[in-house]
Homo-oligomer: A and B are copies of this chain.
Amino acid sequence: MNPKATQIRLAEGGGGEATAQLIQQVFWSRLRHPELLKGNDASVLENPGGNLVVTIDSFVITPWSFPGGDIGKLAICGTVNDLTMMGAVPLGLTVGFIIEEGFAIHDLERIAESMAFTASQAGVQVVAGDTKVVNKGAADGIFITSSGVGTAAPDLHLGGAYARPGDHVIVTGTMGDHGATVLLARGEMGLQSDLISDVAPLNKLIIPLVQKYPQYIRVLRDPTRGGLAATLNEIARQSKVSIRINENSIPINPQVRGITGLLGLDPLYLANEGKAVMIASPEVSCFLIHELRENPLGKDAAIIGEVCAITGNFGMNQGIVSIGNEMGGERILPMGSGEQLPRIC
């Protein structure tokens, strides 16, 4: 957030630096729950009978339907994945709809159908909901907010603050597919492709690994708005470490590479909706890659870098993310301003 700004800009919704600043200045200064201030994808509530994990996300994507999914599928996956990133098994989801007057009922039925199918695929259930309608022109079609509650083992030390120097950085698949797909689906670029969004529920891919390697997986996060770059920068700040990744190790779909090259975009800043970043002890990273690749959702999993101590090489006390290439070059990968792609989720 620009300190002189008096009005909300699109950048404040982009998931980058501007979003982080807005949230800190407006919300964290007033709503000071320690779990909120941790800045993870979901928060942990201690409760007799096991830790509860809660999360919420609003979805405002345009267009609401795109190759590989729609806003309903996205709302289910987004919440299942946020719970998953905290190692939580979903207990139930709740969904709130804000619908513009005039929205086609058959489209709403299609969205409900898609939510039901995705929930069943993920083995979760929608247990409560709410529907509001606003007058024509007061919303853009349909917005969905989904919230979830799950249970996690009480001794799980998983979260953005647990990365340690020496840990490996893993991505579960190609980067930027969702962002590139939605960008093309808007039709403004005049480009066509057969790209589809990666939107998928990750609980069945990830939870067995968390249960199998509880001491070794330190951080899980889904690189949605702001992409891999924003996610790694968040983790570097939370864990007070630097992160170095290798450009050539990052799996990127050739079509995404081609489209982003044409448009001058960087796939590392594009949203993903069916991928996780995993930071894990080097002792298990090869086992994790092996097991991830056995599942179609993890077939392109790769170790892309490692966590380092803050050295001050770049003249900052705060941990930074850097990216190196095969020529030995290394540059900073900043968080991003968040202006690249509004309404991507």
Binding site for B on A (CB under 8 A): 1, 5-14, 19, 22-23, 26-27, 30-31, 33, 35-36, 42-43, 45, 47-50, 52, 54-60, 62, 91-92, 94-106, 108-109, 112-113, 115-116, 119, 125-135, 137-140, 143, 145, 147, 149, 151, 342-343
Q: Quick one: closest B residue to A13, CB to CB? A: B133
- Best-buried of A14, A108, A134 by chain B (most CB within 10 Å): A134
CA–CA, A116 to B28, complex, Å?
10
Copies of the chain in the assembly: 2
Q: Inside 8 A of A33's CB, which chain B residues have their CB?
A: 92, 125-127
Name A115's contact: one of B31, B47, B59 (CB within 8 Å): B31
Contact A96 B145 (CB under 8 A): yes
CA–CA, A133 to B10, complex, Å?
6
Name A129's contact: one of B23, B100, B108, B127 (CB within 8 Å): B23
* Residue contacts A-B, CB under 8 angstroms, 21 given: A8-B104, A13-B131, A13-B134, A19-B131, A22-B131, A26-B105, A27-B129, A27-B131, A30-B116, A31-B125, A35-B127, A43-B128, A45-B91, A52-B91, A56-B145, A58-B97, A58-B98, A60-B138, A130-B145, A132-B343, A137-B140
Query: Would you call the interface of chain A mostly helix, strand, loop, or mixed?
Result: mixed
**Complex A-B, nearest 5 residue pairs according to Cβ-Cβ distance, in ascending order:** A49-B49, A13-B133, A147-B147, A145-B145, A56-B94
CA–CA, A342 to B261, complex, Å?
47
Contact A10 B58 (CB under 8 A): no
Contact A94 B147 (CB under 8 A): yes
Q: Inside 8 A of A23's CB, which chain B residues have their CB?
A: 129, 131
Distance in Å: Cβ of A45 to nearest Cβ of chain B: 5
Q: Inside 8 A of A55's CB, which chain B residues have their CB?
A: 94, 128
Contact B35 A128 (CB under 8 A): yes
CA–CA, A7 to B99, complex, Å?
11
Contact B26 A101 (CB under 8 A): no
CA–CA, A119 to B36, complex, Å?
14
Contact A127 B43 (CB under 8 A): yes
Q: Inside 8 A of A47's CB, which chain B residues have their CB?
A: 49-50, 91, 151
- Best-buried of A49, A99, A105, A108 by chain B (most CB within 10 Å): A105
Name A26's contact: one of B7, B109, B132, B147 (CB within 8 Å): B109
Q: A30-B115, A31-B115, A134-B343 are in contact. Are A96 and B57 (CB under 8 A)?
A: yes
Contact A60 B112 (CB under 8 A): no
Contact A134 B60 (CB under 8 A): yes
Q: Inside 8 A of A106's CB, which chain B residues have their CB?
A: 6
CA–CA, A132 to B341, complex, Å?
12
CA–CA, A129 to B99, complex, Å?
21
Contact A10 B92 (CB under 8 A): no
Name A54's contact: one of B5, B103, B127 (CB within 8 Å): B127
CA–CA, A10 to B137, complex, Å?
12
Distance in Å: Cβ of A70 to nearest Cβ of chain B: 14
Contact B99 A8 (CB under 8 A): yes
Q: Inside 8 A of A343's CB, which chain B residues have their CB?
A: 132, 134-135, 138
CA–CA, A6 to B6, complex, Å?
41
CA–CA, A143 to B13, complex, Å?
14
CA–CA, A132 to B26, complex, Å?
14
Distance in Å: Cβ of A320 to nearest Cβ of chain B: 25
Distance in Å: Cβ of A144 to nearest Cβ of chain B: 9
